[in-house]
Structure 1
Amino acid sequence: MRTSHYLPFLAAPLLAEASSILFNGGTIVAFNRNKNALEVIRDGSLLINDDRIVSVSAGAPSASLLRKDTEVVDAKGKIITPGFIDTHKHGWQTSFKTLASNTSLLEYFSRYGEFAAAGLLTAEDVYIGQLAGIYEALHGGVTTILDHAHHAWSNQTAEAGLLASVDSGARIFWAYAFHNIPSTPPYLVPEQLAHFRALAGNTTLLRSSPTSLGVAYDAWDPAASTATERQAVVALATSLNVSVVTTHTVLGPWGLTNTPSALLAAGILNTSIPVVLSHGSFLSPTDAQLLRTVNQYVSVTPESEFHYGHSNPTSHRFLDQAALGVDTHFTYSGDILSQARLWLQTARLRLYEAVLERWELPVNNPMSATQAFLLATRNGGLALRREDLGVIAVGAKADVVVWDGDAPALLGWNDPVAAVILHASVGDVESVVVDGKWRKRDFKIVVGDGKGKGGYEAVKKRFVESARRVQKKLIETKSPVPVKGDVWPYSGYLVGEAETVDVLRGEGTGYGTTFLKA
C-alpha cells in the first residue's frame, strides 16, 4: 500500500496482465542500430517478453524465446510502430478543454497557467484531469510523456498528479515544478524540495511502474531567483539523479529566458541528467550550438507555438537536437501525430520560401516523412537519453502501437511511415502496449477491469463531473488580461494587437464568439 495524503482517490490497481505477446504477420517499422536508420519489415514478427522487445524478424522468432504464457496476436494487414513520445505536456489542464479556443499566450498566463489556477483545482480535480489527459494521449498512440507538472500548489495537488501518472500505466517522466506560490499560507520552493525528497524516498510509490521522477524549474535566470534557490534545485536533481530536468524557454520579446547558457552557468546543463528545453523560441545560433556540444534537446510544440503566438522562427535550424511535444492539450490536439504532421509541413514551407525569395523554383522537398517520424519517436528517446525508447529493436522497451491498415484513410498504403505520418488519424490506432502491457486494445482504452469496459466509463463520468465544476469557476472568474499599451514585465516590451481576419463580408462580422455556458 502506498503512503500518501491522496490515497482515497487512487484508481483501481493496475492489472497483472499477460507478460508475453507475439505479433505475427504485420508490417513493422523497426530501427536498425547498425545503420542508425528505420527499417521496414513486412510480414514480420515482433515478440515481447515482460517489458522488453526480445525479437524482431522477418520470420518466426526463435522457439527458445517463446513461453507458455505467450499470447499470439494476428497482425496481418496492420502497421506496427514504436509509441510516440511527447516531450512537453501539462496533463492536469484537461478540465479546461474548449475554454480557450481563441486565447493568446498573454491571456493564458492570466487565466489558465500555473499561478492563475492555484487554488482553483482540488487534489481530486488534478488527479482525474491528469488521468483523463493521459488516457487521451494513449488513445492517440502516445506511450511516453514528459509532464511539466506545475500543478504543485500543495503537497496534496502535487501527489495527485503523480499518482494519476502511476495509475495510468503510461510511461511518464513526471517533472515536479518548483515555483513559489503566493497562496495563504505561501507554498514555497524549500517546502517543495522537502516534499520531493519524501516522494523520492517512498520505495513503494513507483515500484513496477514506468513512471519516474523529474524536475521542472523556470527560474534559471539570475534575475528570476536567488543563487541559493538555484543551487538547491541543482543539488536535489543531481543528488537524486532524477530522470529529467525541464524548463520553458521562450526568448525574443517574451523574455522567459532559461537559455542553455543560463542552465550551464547554474551547473545543470552538462551533467548526466537529460535536460529538455520546451519551445526554444528565438533560440540563438550560439545557444543552439551549445545544445549540440552538451547533447541536450529542445521540445518543439508546433500547435502551441502557433496557437499562442510565441512562435518558433529558428527551430527548423536545429532539428538534430529537437523532439516534439504537445504542451497545453486543452486548447487543441492532444496527440503527437498532429504535431509531427504540422511541423513537417511548416518546416517544408519555410525552406521552400527561402528558395522562392531568390526567385528560383525548388526542385526537391526539404524535409521527409521519415524525419518527421523520427522526431515523433526516436528523437524523444534521445532527448530523454533513453536509447531504449522510441524504437522497435531488440532490447528496447515494449512500447508499441498497432495501426489499422484497413482504415479508410490507410487503404492502399505501401510505405508504412508515409501512411502514418501523412494519412492516418488517431482514430486509426487500434492497440497500444506500454512496458509490455495492453493500454488500448481493439480501439478501447484498457483500464480497471482489463476489458476496456467499465473502468474507463467510470473515469469518464468522474472526469466530466470535475470538469464541469472547474469550468464554471473559470468562466465566472474575471481575471484581468493585459491590453494594448501595457508593458510586459518579463521583457519590458509593449503589448500590441494582431490584425484579425474576417471570413464574411462587412467589417467585423466574421470573427464570431465562443459558445460557453457557466
Structure 2
Amino acid sequence: MTDTAAPTPDQVSSAPAVVLRHGLVLTMDDSRTILPDTDVLVVGEKIEAVGRDLPVPDGTVEIDARGGIVMPGMIDTHRHMWQTAMRGYGSDWTLTQYFVWNYLEHGRRFRPEDYYAGNLLSAIEAIDAGVTTSVDWSHGLATVEHAEAATDALEEVPGRFVLAYGNIHGAPWEWATSPDFRSFVERRMPRSDMLGFQMAFDVTGDSEFPEKAAFEVARDLGAPVTTHAGVWGATNDNGIRLMHEHGFMTPETVYVHAATLSDDSYQRIAATGGHASVSAESESSCGQGYPSSWALRRHGIDISLSVDTSVWWSGDGFSAMRSALNADRAREHHEAHASGDTVTHIAARSEDAVGWATRGGARALGLDHVVGSVEVGKKADLVLVKNDDSPVMFPVLHPYGHVVFQAQRGDVHTVMVNGRVLKHDGKLVGIDLGRARAAVEATVEHLRSELGEDEWQAGMNPDVPESKVLDNPYTYTDYADASTHAGAGQA
C-alpha cells in the first residue's frame, strides 16, 4: 500500500521503496525517450520499474511529481571541491591571478582540516543542486594528511564521488611514486561506484616527458588520469602529443577544458576514445580559451560538464549546461557570420546539454552502466525538478529547454543517490549543514588571520609579478611552453 499523504523527511529517508508519481520523465536513454505522466519506482539502491500507474510494494513512500520533471542526477567531472571554503573570493580573478594566489603565494596555507571543510561544503552543495556525482579534482594535496581529510569529507556525505588525487605543489613524477601515496591508495580507495579514484596532474609539454613516471603509476594502479589540457599558457599540443607517442592516451582519460588545442590534438583524443570536461563559465571568464564544445563536437569527442570551482562561479549543473550551450551557439553564429553566412537551425540543442550533464559524465567516469539515465536496473540517482511556488515552473512545453534555460537549483525538489533520498520538498534530508558551516567558518578565520586583513583584501585582485605573465604556473619545473611567449613576440 502506498502512503498517499505528503511524506515527512523521516519517512522518505527510511523508506524501503520510493515511487515518484506522475512526473514527466527525461530518461536520457539511448533514444532520449520522454515519458509524460510516468512513475519511477525505486526499491533499495536501484530503479525497479518505470511506467504508468505502477503497483508498488507495501511500505512504499509516494512522492507527487505532477508538474515536475524527473531526470537522472547530474554528473560533474571536474570540481576543485576544497576551494568551496573560499566561495566567491576570486570572483574577479583571471587565471593568472588564480595561479599566483593558490600556487605561488597562499595555497600551502591550507591545512588538512581546511580541505575537509571545503570538501564537506562542496559535497553538500552539489547534492542540493541535483549533482549526484562529483569529481573532487583535489590538486592541492601537499601531504597524505590532506588527502585523508579530503576523503573523510567525501565519505561523510552520502553522495557519489570520485577523488582525483593531485598535488600542484610537487612534481607528479615524485608524489605519484612515493610510498606514502601508494599506501594511501591501498588504504582509502575502495574503487566502488560510490567512491571512485583518479590521478590528477598536468602535462607541461617538456620534451623530456617527466610526467611519464606518474602515468606508469596510474597504469599500474589501474587508475584513470584526468588532466588540464588545452589551457592557454599552461598545457597545450605538446603535452597531448607526448601522451599519445608514449601510449598514455586511453578511453578512460579525461581532458579538462581542452580549449586551446589544434585539430591534430583533437584527432588524437578522438582516436583514443578520450573524454572532455567542459567548464564554460570558467573558460569564458578566466582565460583557458574559448569553451570547447563547438570544437569537440566537430571531432566526435564525448563531452561532459563541470563547474570547476566555487571560488569563482556557481556550483550547479544548471549553470554549467546553460553556459556551455550559450557559448557553443555563440561560436556557431560567429563562425557563420565570419564567412557571410547565417545559422538557420542550431546544431547544439538543449537535449544535448542535458546529455552532456548526465550520460556524458557517466561515460567519462566509466559509470554509464551504473548511472546517468532513468532505466530499470540502474542505480537510483534521480532528481525531481519541481517548484509549485514558482511562476517559472509552468508551462513545461519543451522539457529539455526547461531544464537548461528555465530551472535553477531552487527548483530542485527531490534528490536521490543510490536509492537514498537526500533532499525532499526543497530541503536537505539527514545532512548536517551546521557542521559544514562551522568547519568553513574556522577555515576562513584561519586564512584571514594568516594573511592579515590587508593581504586578505588585496588577494581578491592580487598583483601579478612581471616575471609570471605568460609563464608556466607550475612551481615544480622551470619548463615553459614557448608558444605563448612567441605569440606575444617575446620568444
Q: Tell whether 2:408 aligns with 1:419.
A: no
1:385 to partner: Cα distance: 2.5
Check conservation: 1:155, 1:192, Cα contact below 8 A.
Answer: no
In the alignment, the residues of structure 2 paired with residue 111 and residue 48 of structure 1 have an alpha-carbon distance, to the nearest angstrom, of 46
1:230 to partner: Cα distance: 2.2
Partner of 2:21: 24
Among 269, 276, 282, the residue aligned to 1:304: 282
Among 88, 100, 106, the residue aligned to 1:98: 88
Q: TM-score scaled to structure 2, two decimals?
A: 0.85
Among 387, 399, 421, the residue aligned to 2:381: 399
In the alignment, the residues of structure 2 paired with residue 395 and residue 409 of structure 1 have an alpha-carbon distance, to the nearest angstrom, of 33
Q: Tell whether 2:278 aligns with 1:289.
A: no
Q: TM-score scaled to structure 1, two decimals?
A: 0.81
Partner of 1:12: none
Q: After the TM superposition, which residues 63-74 of structure 1 pair with which residues of structure 2 at under 5 Å, given as runs?
A: 63=55, 66-74=56-64
1:430 to partner: Cα distance: 1.1
Query: What is the RMSD computed on CA atoms of the aligned residues?
Result: 2.9
Partner of 2:187: 202
Among 112, 115, 119, the residue aligned to 1:123: 112
For the residue of structure 2 that corresponds to 1:281, the secondary structure is coil
Count residues in correspondence: 458
Identity percentage of aligned residues: 26
Among 80, 83, 94, the residue aligned to 2:73: 83
Among 229, 253, 258, the residue aligned to 1:280: 258
Q: After the TM superposition, which residues 292-371 of structure 1 pair with which residues of structure 2 at under 5 Å, given as runs?
A: 292-312=270-290, 314-319=292-297, 320-321=300-301, 322-371=303-352
Check conservation: 2:24, 2:37, Cα contact below 8 A.
Answer: yes
1:258 to partner: Cα distance: 6.9
Partner of 1:51: 45
1:165 to partner: Cα distance: 1.1
In the alignment, the residues of structure 1 paired with residue 68 and residue 285 of structure 2 have an alpha-carbon distance, to the nearest angstrom, of 34
1:338 to partner: Cα distance: 0.4
Q: Tell whether 2:210 aligns with 1:213.
A: no
Structure 2 unpaired stretches of 5+:
1-11, 473-479
In the alignment, the residues of structure 2 paired with residue 258 and residue 278 of structure 1 have an alpha-carbon distance, to the nearest angstrom, of 16
Check conservation: 1:42, 1:58, Cα contact below 8 A.
Answer: no
Check conservation: 1:251, 1:257, Cα contact below 8 A.
Answer: no
Partner of 2:362: 381
In the alignment, the residues of structure 2 paired with residue 211 and residue 100 of structure 1 have an alpha-carbon distance, to the nearest angstrom, of 29
1:259 to partner: Cα distance: 3.8
Check conservation: 1:83, 1:377, Cα contact below 8 A.
Answer: yes
Among 135, 141, 148, the residue aligned to 1:152: 141
Q: After the TM superposition, which residues 156-171 of structure 1 pair with which residues of structure 2 at under 5 Å, given as runs?
A: 156-171=145-160
| C-alpha distance 77-285 of structure 1, shift in aligned 2 (>3 A) | same
1:68 to partner: Cα distance: 4.2
Deviation digits for residues 133-191 of structure 1 (CA, Å, limit 9, x no counterpart): 12112111111112211131111111111111121222111111155539xxxx98347
Deviation digits for residues 180-206 of structure 1 (CA, Å, limit 9, x no counterpart): 539xxxx98347642333233237x75
Bigger shift: 326-335 or 436-445?
Answer: 436-445
Check conservation: 2:228, 2:235, Cα contact below 8 A.
Answer: no
Deviation digits for residues 452-477 of structure 1 (CA, Å, limit 9, x no counterpart): 5xx21232233223223224545626
For the residue of structure 1 that corresponds to 2:170, the secondary structure is coil
Among 109, 124, 130, the residue aligned to 1:135: 124
| C-alpha distance 44-275 of structure 1, shift in aligned 2 (>3 A) | same
| C-alpha distance 52-263 of structure 1, shift in aligned 2 (>3 A) | farther
Partner of 2:441: 464
| C-alpha distance 58-258 of structure 1, shift in aligned 2 (>3 A) | farther
Deviation digits for residues 243-293 of structure 1 (CA, Å, limit 9, x no counterpart): x320111355544557433222343323x6x11011102121122122222
For the residue of structure 2 that corresponds to 1:395, the secondary structure is coil
Check conservation: 1:234, 1:267, Cα contact below 8 A.
Answer: no
In the alignment, the residues of structure 1 paired with residue 208 and residue 277 of structure 2 have an alpha-carbon distance, to the nearest angstrom, of 22
| C-alpha distance 417-160 of structure 1, shift in aligned 2 (>3 A) | same
Structure 1 unpaired stretches of 5+:
1-14, 498-518
Counterpart residue type for residue 332 of structure 2: L
Check conservation: 2:23, 2:70, Cα contact below 8 A.
Answer: yes
In the alignment, the residues of structure 2 paired with residue 361 and residue 255 of structure 1 have an alpha-carbon distance, to the nearest angstrom, of 34
| C-alpha distance 473-304 of structure 1, shift in aligned 2 (>3 A) | farther
Deviation digits for residues 317-352 of structure 1 (CA, Å, limit 9, x no counterpart): 213422111112211111121011111111112112
Partner of 1:510: none
In the alignment, the residues of structure 2 paired with residue 39 and residue 486 of structure 1 have an alpha-carbon distance, to the nearest angstrom, of 50
Among 258, 261, 267, the residue aligned to 2:241: 261
Partner of 1:189: 174
For the residue of structure 2 that corresponds to 1:173, the secondary structure is strand
For the residue of structure 2 that corresponds to 1:317, the secondary structure is helix
| C-alpha distance 281-44 of structure 1, shift in aligned 2 (>3 A) | same
Counterpart residue type for residue 442 of structure 2: E
Deviation digits for residues 432-486 of structure 1 (CA, Å, limit 9, x no counterpart): 111111222221223xxx2x5xx21232233223223224545626776234995
| C-alpha distance 238-68 of structure 1, shift in aligned 2 (>3 A) | farther
| C-alpha distance 48-310 of structure 1, shift in aligned 2 (>3 A) | same
Q: Tell whether 2:427 aligns with 1:444.
A: yes
1:312 to partner: Cα distance: 2.4
| C-alpha distance 25-159 of structure 1, shift in aligned 2 (>3 A) | same
In the alignment, the residues of structure 2 paired with residue 194 and residue 439 of structure 1 have an alpha-carbon distance, to the nearest angstrom, of 37
